A and B are shown apart, each in its own frame.
Chain A
Amino acid sequence: MPESAFLEMQNILKEFPGVVANDHVDLQVERGEIHGLLGENGAGKSTLMKILYGLYSQDEGDIYLDGRRLELDSPQDAIDAGIGMVHQHFQLIPRLSVAQNVVLGEREPATLFRSDGESRLPEAVRSNGVVQALARRFSLGLDVPTQRIDDLADQYGFDIDATAKIWELDVGQQQRVEILKALYRDADLLILDEPTAVLTPAEAERLFDSLERLTEEGLAIIFITHKLNEVQSVVDRVTILREGKNVGTATVSEVTQADLAEMMVGREVLFNVEKDGVELGEPVLQLQNIHADNDRGIESLSGIDLTVRAGEVVGIAGVSGNGQKELAEVAAGLRRLTDGSITVGGTDLTGAKPKRFVNNDVSFVPEDRLRYGCAEDLSVMHNAAMKEFTDERFGSQMGLDYRELAAYAEELVEEFDVRGVRDVTETNAGDLSGGNLQKLILARELARDPDLLVANQPTRGVDVGAIEFIRETLLEQRTDGTGIVLLSEDLDEITDLSDRILVIYEGEFVYETTPEAADRDRIGLEMTGGASTDAATAESPQPIATGQDGEP
């Protein structure tokens, strides 16, 4: 082959029972480029990358790296070949420290036995093969690795303390630890599977800066994302997958976002949804002076007041970690209050069990779909019917009518276009691609026709076509008189869908506005708490939101 690229994946075929995840896909990536990989949910992006990382083995096709053919039987083979991967779902052990997570599998011996470190042992003993083999298994030295991690972190501008435990870090930092894992192993090719899905725009910016520094050093980067604006700003070339097939590679500077969307979905995509006026009804949710702690027992909601009326979408903007997760859980009845009261549709549910919230027609789309949104190892049918199975049509007290349940699940899968479901009773929720799982969860929550919907990051990790669909569905629910609390880190989503916008900062609402009056810079400033220090210079300080005075 003349002039072959740094990475060549040729004719890759991968079938799962009933699904062709990769249908004879070719992919070429050069050194020093950021290569985008785009495609709808379930198009086969993660599968292709897992093959490249040795996690799955392809049914057909070859992989060449730097001209050499690779036989990848395990991730270790890929690591040895210089491939690093940051997975769509974080691969970190919360209980262990950053350094422990990073060196895992590298077998770093104690400093005493290192050939490069300071050591009192004579060189002859240290370099002895048997001593090395034993030391690498039965000792562990974190001093030298910690130094190396600190150096790498400095070099790429990461603020990571190598001795911190993973659970103490926020998602942005965890993301950087994932990248450190690959850099530590001297990766020449770095795969990033939706790295920005959980990052705030500012965190994503920082990630892009680091990525650019990496490519300057000659690394090749494969970057999977659903955010077309990110593709436009950092990616050099992009390959698009549709239903497992490669539909083309383009140089980003030569195409528009609309072109990319159309290549992905196969039709034109509307980026702006139309919103029509809706009469506001009775309050469906009233939160009064809510105080609640986070998982670590630190107060993270400090006096939240919020009223949501039927037919109203209240958008809550904020930097992640300012109480959004706790607020969503409080509104869905999943978190205990330390103070305050909750009324749902006129019923006081302060301190009530989650089940009563469900029975009072509250639906909830959690932020972490894999851990809290579904039961991974249960079928799509079980997951779809999880909140509805007590309904009469599914049988009596004594038994469930599985045929009816399956039919119900199929209906939802059909209506919400959940792809990759071979058989609702056999496909497990955990086997769905990320975006399709999200659609399944939305289907379950919306099909109940809730009075109140609490949606936390409903379009995270979802492709453009599906985002359009989800937004339309949310607005339809609004027209049907559902009150919606929408928490999102995507400001466009908030301004497009909301009737009212509240900014949350350190567990309190600090600013309220409407989409029409919204000034993005002001919102951005409020989100970071900047306004309180600049209060004197800010034009006309808005009243602190009480929630009661929401204007239409």
Chain B
Amino acid sequence: MAGFLGGLLNATVSAATVFILAGLGELISERAGVLNLGVEGMMLSGALGGFIVTVVTGSTWLGLFAGIVAGMALASIHAFLCISLKANQVISGVMLTLLGTGLTTFYGSRWVENSIDGFSQVTVPLVGQYLVDIPVIGTALFSNTPTDYIALALVPITWYFLNHSNMGLELISVGEDPEMADTMGVAVFKLRYLAVIIGGGFAGAAGAHLSLAFSQLWVPGMTAGRGWIAVALVIFAQWTPSRMLVGAYLFGMLDALQLRSQALSFSVGADTPLAGIINPTIDFLMNGQIMATYPYLATILVLSYAVIKTKSDRLAVPSALLQSYSRETD
């Protein structure tokens, strides 16, 4: 059981990284007032872009970089449509996901057979091995891919940036009230572009982590809805990085659990009362296909919880989310 738990925790960290990166990216974009529903599409292009560059150059780091650039490239389309042309953010975002999915399926099919080494687990120098040997949590905490550490580091960095830097303050103001920000001399358009494109970079990195570190292969559609979960996580996190971390681990755990469902078997003894009902129920609930729906069920629960909760609290949603801005409405 300890072995199972250790493996599960280890996989959770890696799965959570996807949500941390994609979720933080979406969070930054939304704090500037731009909803980007194209996360799924940006992740897929990040995953494929990263994979191809890694195969071609043999360098996983170059691959990660390419994934980030691919995410940014798609995000710039969204930025241009929504900020400059003032298109509807929801429509543009959905379009972006369709575009990303379509392009990566079309161009990605011939890369499916390729294999890469991907990111390997690294440990702290000198004392690393002793830490890893700690039972159960050792590998989960101290033996991870570089992207896992980067993602973890980005949580406090993003928090600091948003709450303790001038750029962050300006970014928030643009998401709260672009007109007000404009009257204070804040470059509204520039900041919104910046936020959306950085957000795209984060999503691209999330995708690259998926193909280069998490599964170390490329399959079309491999994000399997994780981008949408990241969008929901932003609401769960109430637009704060620290709560994003909690949500990401929650969903990372579900993700990891589902991948390991085969290794699990629970049953009660045949002589227990109601065993005839309990055992088939457990089998049903532990079925791999059923377990694959858990993240989505959890999303629904989490969102309902967040919405009910925010009714009483002060709503944390950026006030100008979804609003385009123009100085003169003529």
Q: Does B301 contact A (CB under 8 A)?
A: no
CB distance from B46 to the nearest CB of A (A): 25
Q: Summarize B's interface: helix, strand, loop or mixed.
A: helix
- Digitize A100-124: 1 where CB-to-B-CB distance is under 8 Å, 0 elsewhere: 1001110111000000000000000
B173 to A93, Cβ gap below 8 A? Answer: yes
Other 8 A-B pairs with CB < 8 A, given A79-B185, A91-B184, A105-B186: A75-B184, A79-B184, A91-B179, A91-B180, A93-B319, A96-B176, A104-B186, A140-B169
In B141-194, which residues have CB < 8 Å from any A CB?
161, 164-170, 172-173, 176-177, 179-186
A93 to B328, Cβ gap below 8 A? Answer: no
Measured CB to CB, the residues of A under 8 A from B are: 16-17, 53, 55-56, 74-76, 79, 85, 87, 91-93, 95-96, 100, 103-105, 107-109, 136-140, 181, 428, 430-431
B180 to A92, Cβ gap below 8 A? Answer: yes
**Closest chain A residue, CB of each to CB of B180:** A91
Partner of B330, one of A17, A55, A74, A76: A17
**4 A-B pairs closest in CB distance:** A76-B185, A105-B184, A91-B180, A105-B185
In the complex, A74→B327 CA distance in Å?
Answer: 10
In the complex, A96→B177 CA distance in Å?
Answer: 11
Partner of A85, one of B170, B183, B330: B183
Contacts A75-B185, A104-B186, A105-B181 known; A428 to B329 CB distance under 8 Å?
yes
Please give, as numbers and ranges, the residues of chain B lying within 8 Å of A104 by CB-CB distance.
169-170, 173, 181, 184, 186
B183 to A137, Cβ gap below 8 A? Answer: no
Partner of B182, one of A55, A103, A109, A140: A55
Please give, as numbers and ranges, the residues of chain B lying within 8 Å of A95 by CB-CB distance.
176, 314, 319
B165 to A74, Cβ gap below 8 A? Answer: no
**Closest chain B residue, CB of each to CB of A19:** B330
In the complex, A431→B329 CA distance in Å?
Answer: 8
Could you tell me how many residues of chain B have their Cβ less than 8 Å away from some Cβ of chain A? Answer: 26
Partner of A137, one of B167, B173, B186: B167
Please give, as numbers and ranges, the residues of chain A lying within 8 Å of B179 by CB-CB distance.
91
In the complex, A107→B166 CA distance in Å?
Answer: 5
CB distance from A76 to the nearest CB of B (A): 3
Q: Summarize A's interface: helix, strand, loop or mixed.
A: loop
In the complex, A318→B180 CA distance in Å?
Answer: 31
B173 to A96, Cβ gap below 8 A? Answer: yes
In the complex, A136→B168 CA distance in Å?
Answer: 11
In the complex, A139→B179 CA distance in Å?
Answer: 24
B164 to A140, Cβ gap below 8 A? Answer: yes
Measured CB to CB, the residues of B under 8 A from A are: 161, 164-170, 172-173, 176-177, 179-186, 314, 319, 327-330
CB distance from A113 to the nearest CB of B (A): 11
Please give, as numbers and ranges, the residues of chain A lying within 8 Å of B167 by CB-CB distance.
137-138
In the complex, A140→B182 CA distance in Å?
Answer: 19
Partner of B327, one of A56, A109, A138, A430: A56
In the complex, A257→B164 CA distance in Å?
Answer: 51
Please give, as numbers and ranges, the residues of chain B lying within 8 Å of A75 by CB-CB distance.
182-185
In the complex, A95→B315 CA distance in Å?
Answer: 10
Most buried by A among B184, B319, B328: B184
In the complex, A78→B330 CA distance in Å?
Answer: 22
Contacts A93-B176, A138-B161 known; A100 to B185 CB distance under 8 Å?
no
Please give, as numbers and ranges, the residues of chain A lying within 8 Å of B180 by CB-CB distance.
91-93
In the complex, A348→B169 CA distance in Å?
Answer: 50
**Closest chain B residue, CB of each to CB of A109:** B166
In the complex, A105→B183 CA distance in Å?
Answer: 9
In the complex, A85→B180 CA distance in Å?
Answer: 11
In the complex, A32→B239 CA distance in Å?
Answer: 47
CB distance from B170 to the nearest CB of A (A): 7
Contacts A91-B179, A96-B176 known; A105 to B170 CB distance under 8 Å?
yes
Contacts A55-B327, A431-B329 known; A100 to B169 CB distance under 8 Å?
yes
In the complex, A430→B329 CA distance in Å?
Answer: 10
In the complex, A55→B167 CA distance in Å?
Answer: 22
A to B CB contacts below 8 Å, 19 in the list:
A75-B184, A87-B183, A91-B179, A91-B184, A92-B180, A93-B172, A93-B180, A93-B319, A95-B176, A96-B173, A100-B169, A105-B170, A105-B184, A105-B185, A105-B186, A137-B166, A139-B164, A181-B184, A428-B329
Please give, as numbers and ranges, the residues of chain A lying within 8 Å of B186 by CB-CB distance.
104-105
In the complex, A17→B327 CA distance in Å?
Answer: 15
Please give, as numbers and ranges, the residues of chain A lying within 8 Å of B329 by CB-CB distance.
428, 430-431
In the complex, A109→B166 CA distance in Å?
Answer: 8
In the complex, A100→B184 CA distance in Å?
Answer: 12
CB distance from B267 to the nearest CB of A (A): 51
**Closest chain B residue, CB of each to CB of A56:** B328
In the complex, A108→B329 CA distance in Å?
Answer: 32
Please give, as numbers and ranges, the residues of chain B lying within 8 Å of A138 by CB-CB distance.
161, 165-167
CB distance from B160 to the nearest CB of A (A): 9
CB distance from A533 to the nearest CB of B (A): 36
In the complex, A93→B320 CA distance in Å?
Answer: 11
Please give, as numbers and ranges, the residues of chain B lying within 8 Å of A74 by CB-CB distance.
182, 185
